[in-house]
Amino acid sequence: MTRKVIIDVDPGIDDAVALTMALFDPRLEVLAVTATAGCVGHERATANLQALVNLLDPPRLPRLGAAPADAELTPWPFLLDGTDGLGGIDLPQVSLHGGHVAEKVIWETLRAHPRQVTIIALGPLTNLARLFRRDPGVVDLVQEVVVSGGSLRAAGDATPVADANFFADPQAARHLILQPLAKVLVPLETSGQLVLGFGLLDQLPDESSRAGTLLRRMLPHAFRAQRQLLGSEGIRLHGTVALVAATHPELFERATIAADVETAGDLTAGMLVVDRRQARQWQPTADILTACDAAAVEDCIIRGLAAAAAAT
């Protein structure tokens, strides 16, 4: 059986890789893909999403949701994805079907498929928080949320203690964490266990396919930016690992935590705060993935990209 999903993205390079895999994964029925600002602003996020789906042209087009124009997010200080979010590859801009704002698309999709849909959130949690504030009852219609975000040991990337997705919209992250629904966090420490080296470029599909063309244009920029800005010889695709966590949960170790998100601290906004006291006073709020089989996850990514290329 296929798993019905909504994928919420701030479409930079990482999320573009994840989306390339997801749209052609036979285990997933991608009902909708929605955009949020994050590594790029809201207009660019929507434009990137439309351009990616148009280029990849999946056999079943998902509904598309536009990033809200009135959401105020804190940008990440490193432009790892380039000014356009996709490594400067200059995809043709298109205006695809729909045009509704993301939260409306998510709301309508959940109501059409109650308790059957997993939301895979790969960017800031703005759209989900807006939806749950608008209609708190819709929480009961969600099967599960898989979140790329948080840091189990307060080792961040956007700040010393916060990851980019939670840092961009701490209020939204807190709102989601405290919702009474099934949720799985894929924190930086776990998704960061997979470091992809330059050898990845040799394993990408060739440019005879649309997916191969996209990947071979985007990913060299990711390697250059990581090396120039962060001094890293490899890249970490946190959102892509989170997608694998949704499709292959057996490759990850899991624990249940009682957690909240700091929203007001000058130094700690966006920090995932976990109650580690011997006599824990908070109630459990989420499952968190604490480790992964990095080699197996990498193999899933390589095979997923090859399958996308074969279909395009």
CA pair distance 231, 157, nearest whole angstrom: 13
Which pLDDT value is given to residue 137? 97
Which pLDDT value is given to residue 21? 98
**Do residues 203 and 306 make contact, with C-beta atoms less than 8 angstroms apart?**
no
Picking from 90, 14, 95, 88, the residue whose alpha carbon sits closest to that of residue 53 is 95
Picking from 127, 219, 204, 117, the residue whose alpha carbon sits closest to that of residue 165 is 127
Report the interhelical angle of 126-134 vs 170-177 (nearest 10°).
60
**Do residues 37 and 73 make contact, with C-beta atoms less than 8 angstroms apart?**
yes
**Do residues 220 and 200 make contact, with C-beta atoms less than 8 angstroms apart?**
no
**Do residues 139 and 44 make contact, with C-beta atoms less than 8 angstroms apart?**
no
Helix/strand/coil for 260: strand
Which pLDDT value is given to residue 210? 96
Structure tokens at 201: 């470029």
Which pLDDT value is given to residue 231? 86
Structure tokens at 89: 């590859």
- Most distant CA atoms of the chain, gap in Å: 59
Which pLDDT value is given to residue 120? 98
Segments of the chain assigned E as strands: 3-9, 28-35, 63-65, 117-121, 142-148, 183-186, 252-257, 259-261, 272-274, 286-292
Which pLDDT value is given to residue 217? 95
Cα 270–chain centre separation? 16
* Structural domains of the chain, with CATH: 3-311 (3.90.245.10)
User: How does pLDDT run along the chain (312 residues), one tens digit per residue?
Assistant: 899 999 999 999 999 999 999 999 999 999 999 999 998 999 999 999 999 999 999 999 999 999 999 887 887 666 788 889 999 998 988 876 667 999 999 999 999 999 999 999 999 999 999 999 999 999 999 999 999 999 998 889 999 999 999 999 999 999 999 999 999 999 999 999 999 999 999 999 999 999 999 999 999 999 999 898 888 889 999 999 999 999 999 999 999 999 999 999 999 999 999 999 999 999 999 999 999 999 999 999 999 999 999 999
Phi, psi of 223 (to 5 degrees): -65, -45
**Do residues 162 and 151 make contact, with C-beta atoms less than 8 angstroms apart?**
yes
Single-letter amino acid code for the residue at 177: I
Provide the pairing of β-strand 286-292 with 252-257: antiparallel
**Do residues 285 and 260 make contact, with C-beta atoms less than 8 angstroms apart?**
yes
